[in-house]
């Protein structure tokens, strides 16, 4: 979960970089200010959104893979089985747009 605070910057995908200027925890809303001259897209967290319409959402599983080998450069005589990273796959569940079910 993101730790969003007043003064934090965030990237709203396809819109740009914004600064949080107010958080209303009672009704769970944020007031933000667009920062058109800020070009630091690497540092702030990136956010996107989906319309909460159950008929237009599908559950998706995102797969992430780590290095397949536990060494950068295996020795010539090293047994391959000893350097395989068997814990290289990670799965996370997300909600996505319904068009993703056709991929």
Name the DSSP letter for residue 59.
E
Q: Give the 3-state secondary structure of 1-57.
A: CCCCCCCCEEEECCCEEEEEEEEECCCCEEEEEECCCCCCCCCCCEECCCCCCHHHE
Name the DSSP letter for residue 69.
B
- In this model, does residue 17 exceed pLDDT 90? yes
Burial of 17 (0-12, 13-18, 19+ CB in 10 A): buried
SS3 81: helix
The predicted structure's pLDDT at residue 34:
97
| Residue range 90-102, pLDDT digits in tens | 999 988 888 888 8
| Residue range 25-58, pLDDT digits in tens | 898 888 999 999 999 999 999 988 777 777 888 8
């Amino acid at each position: 979960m993101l730790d969003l605070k007043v003064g934090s910057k965030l990237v709203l995908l396809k819109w740009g970089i914004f600064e949080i200027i107010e958080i209303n925890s009672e009704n769970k809303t944020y007031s933000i200010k667009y920062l058109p001259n800020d070009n630091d897209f690497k540092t702030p967290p990136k956010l996107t959104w989906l319309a909460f319409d159950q008929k237009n959402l599908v559950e998706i599983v995102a797969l992430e893979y780590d290095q397949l080998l536990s060494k950068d450069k295996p020795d010539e005589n090293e047994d391959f089985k000893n350097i395989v990273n068997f814990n290289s796959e990670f799965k996370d569940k997300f909600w996505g747009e319904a068009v993703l079910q056709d991929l």
